[in-house]
């Protein structure tokens, strides 16, 4: 809403005779909520959200942030139902179509919101049709065999396909066929088409207490996380530095790919997370991981154990990157800089 439009809105609200402060505040909150809802729905339609609901609501132009936020969230929750109700009553005519978001917000308030007096033309229009809105809602409930509106809202939730559950088989302990047979007892299991040693299970499979997770035979790791060590593709005998290691999923993956050869230096700055890293490595059964509690940015590539007299085997670019990391401290989240070399 532009500033001149907003001025007009304020003027109309002031003119509304006998309106209380609460009514005026609710009137503005509905308009501010409609503006936010429009941004959210446009972002959804383009599959590219410009901002979160919170950041839209917390913009300085929104005055009644709490009420606006609540209205947007509630209207979004009820939106599929509200759309059906408005369609059944044919109230979203061309005249109001341009203000569809305000119609949704106001319809929510008329049907489910706080029972305070309402000012505004859209409000008056919808209140005058309140009985038909309510009977449309009852009919929709009856036709969907929903015993109440809450059930109807649940049934109308957009269908969200849960993300699959990815499992990395720790080949230091078991092989992929064994893991597959074990997991097929509880779910349908597929092999991943990109990353080796990864099994894919349905999204709702809860494996957190599974004995193979507890004993480190398998790791519950997101697919993106499993790609890092696979992309590095270390050859047996490599020495690899995992710069930011805890909780250690990629360190353990590296250890599996190195098949017990070579060495991994796992750096972790945070003492608490270091314990978690130690636990992961101990569960993984890897014996070639040296865990260091230190800031990897303070590491000098020429010092032992990082150099082992072979720092000149680092390619010049890596040495330059390494020094840049140390000087600028900009690269703390870098995982696995490839400071590995062939023996």
Ligand X SMILES: C[S@@+](CC[C@H](N)C(=O)[O-])C[C@H]1O[C@@H](n2cnc3c(N)ncnc32)[C@H](O)[C@@H]1O
Name the site residues for ligand X (rule: CB under 6 A): 225, 244-250, 267-270, 273, 295-297, 332, 335
Nearest of 1, 151, 155, 156 to residue 68 by alpha carbon: 1
Whether the Cβ atoms of residue 168 and residue 191 lie closer than 8 Å to each other: no
- The response to whether 311 counts as a known ligand-binding position is no
Using CA atoms, how far residue 169 sits from 196, 212, 264, in Å, is 9, 9, 19
Identity of the residue, 28 or 296, whose beta carbon is nearer to ligand X in the bound complex: 296
Closest distance between ligand X and the C-beta of residue 71, in Å?
A: 37
- The response to whether 247 counts as a known ligand-binding position is yes
Closest distance between ligand X and the C-beta of residue 293, in Å?
A: 9
What is the C-alpha to C-alpha distance for residues 37 and 162, in angstroms, rounded to an integer? 25
- The response to whether 197 counts as a known ligand-binding position is no
- The response to whether 250 counts as a known ligand-binding position is yes
- The response to whether 155 counts as a known ligand-binding position is no
Which residue is it, tokens 């005779």? 17
The per-residue b/e assignment along 241-278, b for 16 or more CB within 10 angstroms, e otherwise, is bbbbbbbbbbbbbbbbbbeeebbbbbbbbeeebbeebb
Two tokens, residue 23:
């009514």
- The response to whether 286 counts as a known ligand-binding position is no
Identity of the residue, 91 or 252, whose beta carbon is nearer to ligand X in the bound complex: 252
Closest distance between ligand X and the C-beta of residue 84, in Å?
A: 44
What is the C-alpha to C-alpha distance for residues 258 and 172, in angstroms, rounded to an integer? 9
Q: What is the CA radius of gyration of the chain?
A: 29
Backbone angles phi, psi at 145, to 5 degrees: 55, 35
Closest distance between ligand X and the C-beta of residue 214, in Å?
A: 18
Identity of the residue, 152 or 281, whose beta carbon is nearer to ligand X in the bound complex: 281
Report which DSSP code applies to 209.
T
Two tokens, residue 56:
């839209």
Using CA atoms, how far residue 40 sits from 45, 50, 57, 218, in Å, is 9, 8, 11, 40
Nearest-CB residue for ligand X: 244
Identity of the residue, 51 or 276, whose beta carbon is nearer to ligand X in the bound complex: 276
- The response to whether 333 counts as a known ligand-binding position is no
- The response to whether 16 counts as a known ligand-binding position is no
What is the C-alpha to C-alpha distance for residues 111 and 130, in angstroms, rounded to an integer? 8
Identity of the residue, 35 or 250, whose beta carbon is nearer to ligand X in the bound complex: 250
Closest distance between ligand X and the C-beta of residue 249, in Å?
A: 4
Closest distance between ligand X and the C-beta of residue 178, in Å?
A: 24
Report the binding-site residues for S-adenosyl-L-methionine.
244-250, 268, 295
């Amino acid at each position: 809403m532009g500033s001149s439009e907003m001025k007009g809105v304020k003027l109309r609200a002031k003119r509304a005779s006998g309106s209380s402060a609460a009514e005026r505040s609710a009137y503005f909150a509905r308009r501010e909520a409609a503006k936010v809802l429009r941004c959210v729905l446009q972002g959804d339609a383009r599959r590219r959200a410009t901002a979160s609901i919170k950041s839209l609501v917390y913009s300085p132009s929104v005055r009644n942030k709490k009420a606006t936020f609540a209205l947007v969230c509630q209207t979004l929750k009820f939106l599929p139902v509200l759309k059906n109700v408005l369609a059944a009553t044919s109230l979203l005519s061309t005249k109001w179509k341009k203000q569809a978001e305000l119609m949704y917000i106001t319809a929510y308030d008329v049907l489910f919101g706080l029972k305070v007096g309402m000012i505004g033309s859209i409000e008056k229009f919808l209140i005058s049709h309140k009985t038909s809105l309510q009977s449309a809602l009852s009919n929709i409930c009856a036709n969907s065999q929903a015993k109440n509106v809450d059930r109807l809202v649940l049934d109308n939730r957009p269908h969200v396909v849960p993300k699959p559950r990815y499992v990395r088989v720790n080949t230091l302990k078991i092989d992929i066929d064994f893991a597959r047979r074990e997991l097929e007892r509880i779910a349908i299991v597929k092999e991943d088409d990109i990353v080796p040693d990864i099994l894919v299970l349905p999204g709702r499979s809860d494996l957190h207490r599974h004995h193979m997770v507890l004993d480190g035979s398998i790791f519950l790791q997101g697919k993106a996380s499993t790609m890092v060590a696979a992309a590095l593709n270390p050859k047996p005998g490599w020495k690899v530095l995992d710069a930011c290691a805890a909780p250690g999923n990629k360190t353990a993956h590296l250890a599996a790919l190195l098949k017990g050869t070579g060495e991994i230096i796992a750096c972790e700055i945070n003492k608490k997370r270091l314990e978690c890293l130690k636990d992961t490595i101990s569960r993984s059964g890897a014996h070639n991981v040296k865990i260091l509690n230190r800031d990897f940015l303070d590491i000098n590539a020429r010092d032992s154990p990082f150099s082992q007299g072979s720092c000149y085997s680092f390619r010049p670019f890596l040495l330059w990157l390494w020094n840049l990391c140390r000087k600028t401290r900009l690269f703390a989240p870098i995982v696995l800089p490839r400071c590995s070399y062939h023996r």
